[in-house]
């Protein structure tokens, strides 16, 4: 389908539902998980065909890059564009090819149901998508398919039982059957020469805990028990599931002898984190940015 035809059919969010989510989240503090991931592409139509056509994500917003108004900014996500499901792109036709290496986010991982592995393996073969055979990670806890878009962006589908708690993120009338549909983000993976300083930032300043370790992969996750307990008695079961802290995993892969990455087509531009309120966001800014990391001067 043509990009601009699809955009006409964008859905409007249920304002009452979103209001309940926002009110409940105000009870929590700190980072809840991933808000969105932004990456760089070249051809906008090929990008749309892959993410909306093959992956079955919804184009929930189309605007421009406010740093470069000659460039589109695509937003793909679930049916309502909920935080934790949004992958955005800056498509620059003439940008150089990026290089995956240390010092950057190298992989964005989507969550799928445990029964969806065969569906996606077959679909990738039929569509000619470069991908790996399914492999287990952290014992039998996760089954992972690694694949790549037209620009070489490294992505994963992770089959995990958490998908049962996130059925609300499956686009009910989308091009992929809901039983197999993507349920938003599962995690992001960073590639670093060493992980000590970043691990310290995650655990001491951003509210993550180190929860697992396998080989050169170290896993960190936000676990906000205050928000989990505050969901009891609020709205319907579906409301509670949409408010549940999700998309909250960061993996660090230590590759000490690997070339540093360079930004360009097929690389991640940035990851944005979700906070419950504007006040919480400002508090995190004060906490994190006292000379410890670089920040966007406009934020």
Instruction: Give the rounded percent of residues in the chain with a pLDDT score beyond 70.
Output: 79
DSSP type of residue 167: G
Low-confidence winner among 138-147, 161-170, 217-226 (lowest mean pLDDT): 217-226
Low-confidence winner among 18-32, 133-147, 187-201, 245-259 (lowest mean pLDDT): 18-32
Which domains can be identified in the chain, with CATH numbers? 3-288 (3.10.180.10)
Among the listed residues 259, 255, 98, 104, the one whose alpha carbon sits nearest the alpha carbon of residue 190 = 104
Task: Report how far apart, in Å, the C-alpha atoms of 51 and of each of 54, 176, 202, 269 are.
Answer: 6, 12, 30, 17
- The pLDDT, as a whole number, for residue 290 is 58
CA distance 19 to 25: 10
Question: Which of 28-42, 59-73, 125-139, 267-281 has maximum average pLDDT?
Answer: 125-139
Give the CA angle between residues 31, 221, 298 to the nearest 5°.
35
Cα–chain center distance at 44: 20
Query: Is 230 a residue whose pLDDT tops 70?
Result: no
Predicted confidence (pLDDT) per residue in 277-287, tens digit: 888 888 877 77
Higher-confidence residue: 166 or 238? 166
**What is the average per-residue pLDDT within 13-40?**
62
- The pLDDT, as a whole number, for residue 31 is 86
CA distance 264 to 97: 5
Among the listed residues 144, 51, 42, the one whose alpha carbon sits nearest the alpha carbon of residue 93 = 42
Are the CB atoms for 9 and 174 separated by under 8 Å?
no
Which residues is 225 bridged to in the sheet?
A: none
DSSP letters for 66-135: TTEEEEEEEEEESTT--TTSEEEEEE-TTPPBPB--BSEEEEEEEEE-GGGHHHHHHHHHHHT--BPPPE
**What is the average per-residue pLDDT within 68-86?**
93
**What is the average per-residue pLDDT within 242-246?**
52
Predicted confidence (pLDDT) per residue in 80-113, tens digit: 999 999 999 999 999 999 999 999 999 999 999 9
């Amino acid at each position: 389908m043509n990009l601009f035809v699809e955009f006409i059919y964008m859905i409007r969010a249920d304002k009452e539902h979103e209001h309940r989510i926002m009110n409940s989240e105000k009870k929590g503090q700190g980072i809840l998980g991933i808000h969105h991931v932004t990456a760089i592409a070249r051809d906008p139509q090929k990008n749309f065909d892959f993410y909306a056509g093959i992956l079955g994500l919804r184009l929930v917003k189309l605007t421009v890059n406010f740093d470069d108004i000659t460039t589109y900014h695509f937003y793909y996500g679930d049916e309502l564009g909920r935080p934790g499901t949004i992958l955005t792109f800056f498509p620059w036709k003439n940008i150089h090819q990026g290089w995956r290496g240390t010092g950057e986010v190298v992989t964005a991982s989507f969550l799928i149901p445990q029964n969806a592995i065969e569906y996606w393996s077959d679909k990738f073969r039929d569509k000619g998508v470069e991908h790996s055979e399914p492999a287990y990670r952290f014992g039998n806890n996760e089954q992972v398919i690694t694949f790549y878009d037209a620009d070489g962006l490294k992505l994963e589908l992770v089959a995990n039982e958490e998908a049962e708690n996130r059925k609300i993120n499956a686009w009910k009338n989308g091009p992929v059957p809901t039983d197999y549909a993507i349920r938003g983000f599962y995690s992001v993976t960073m590639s670093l020469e060493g992980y000590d300083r970043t691990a310290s930032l995650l655990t001491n300043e951003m509210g993550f805990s180190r929860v697992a370790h396998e080989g050169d992969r170290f896993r960190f996750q936000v676990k906000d028990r205050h928000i989990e307990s505050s969901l009891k008695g609020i709205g319907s079961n579906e409301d509670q599931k949409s408010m549940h802290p999700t998309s909250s995993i960061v993996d660090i892969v230590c590759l000490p002898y690997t070339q540093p990455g360079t930004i360009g087509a097929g690389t991640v531009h940035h990851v944005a984190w979700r906070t419950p309120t504007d006040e919480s966001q400002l508090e995190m800014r004060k906490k994190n940015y006292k000379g410890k990391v670089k920040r966007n001067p406009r934020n």
